[in-house]
């Protein structure tokens, strides 16, 4: 057999093998799986992130309501007691590593000089060290005195609990952190006023 003949036979064998390989469908599913696997993992992680985010949002709402309920049951409070209530509220977010930040404020609704105008006055306030007041000073003051119009009735006093939480997604390299906030109002249960002399 000459070199040309052996080269021709080699080319024919390669061609036949490639035709046989192109008709073979046994490896298609493996290739499809290899192509779809990253997409499936991304979708799975996205669904897990959404469910974790919804759960975190529910817990943020729960933190605000539990903290407000605990404060509303007091006759008077001290800063140390409020700090303990903050700790109780933080445990609701378990097993999350990120802790919620909170601010508790006591608001009074008062009538201005026997007129029909009602104003909201901030009696006292206490917050966790990481609580962030957003906006310019005027907006911050407006937030401190914030009370929905339907709650402005005399003589009423309210406990306002603000909760802030930063949700860190599983896909944090792709998705940004999500800031969650909740505001909860409660009325004092056992007295009209809940003083906090050292706040």
pLDDT in tens, 8-51: 777 677 777 667 666 666 667 777 788 888 999 889 888 999 99
pLDDT of residue 30: 73
Contact, 103 vs 126, CB < 8 A? yes
Instruction: State phi, psi for 153 to the nearest 5 degrees.
Output: -130, 145
Largest CA-CA distance found in the chain, in angstroms, rounded: 120
pLDDT along the chain (199 residues), means of 10: 62 70 68 85 89 95 97 96 96 90 93 80 93 80 78 85 93 88 94 91
- Cis ω on the peptide bond leading into residue 95 (within 30° of 0)? yes
Sign of the Cα torsion 46, 50, 55, 61 reads positive
Q: What percent of the chain has pLDDT over 70?
A: 89
Structure-derived torsion over alpha carbons of residues 164, 127, 85, 178, reported in degrees to the nearest 10: 10
110: which strand partners?
119
What pLDDT is recorded for position 112? Answer: 79
pTM: 0.76
Tell me the pairing of strands 101-111 and 157-167. Answer: antiparallel
């Amino acid at each position: 057999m000459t070199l040309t003949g052996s080269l021709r036979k080699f080319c024919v064998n390669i061609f036949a093998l490639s035709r046989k390989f192109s008709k073979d469908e046994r490896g298609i599913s493996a290739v499809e799986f290899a192509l779809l696997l990253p997409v499936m993992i991304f979708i799975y992680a996205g669904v897990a992130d959404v469910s974790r985010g919804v759960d975190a949002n529910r817990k943020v709402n729960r933190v605000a309501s539990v903290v407000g309920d605990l404060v509303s049951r007091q006759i008077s409070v001290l800063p140390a007691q409020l700090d303990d209530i903050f700790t109780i509220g933080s445990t609701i977010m378990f097993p999350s590593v990120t802790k919620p930040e909170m601010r508790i404020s006591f608001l009074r609704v008062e009538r201005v000089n026997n007129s029909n105008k009602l104003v909201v006055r901030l009696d006292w306030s206490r917050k966790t060290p990481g609580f962030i007041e957003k906006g310019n000073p005027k907006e911050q003051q407006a937030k401190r005195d914030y009370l929905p119009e339907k709650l402005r009735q005399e003589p009423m006093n309210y406990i306002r609990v603000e909760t802030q939480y930063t949700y860190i997604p599983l896909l944090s390299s792709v998705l940004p952190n999500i800031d969650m906030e909740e505001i909860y109002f409660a009325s004092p249960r056992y007295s009209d006023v809940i003083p906090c002399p050292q706040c």
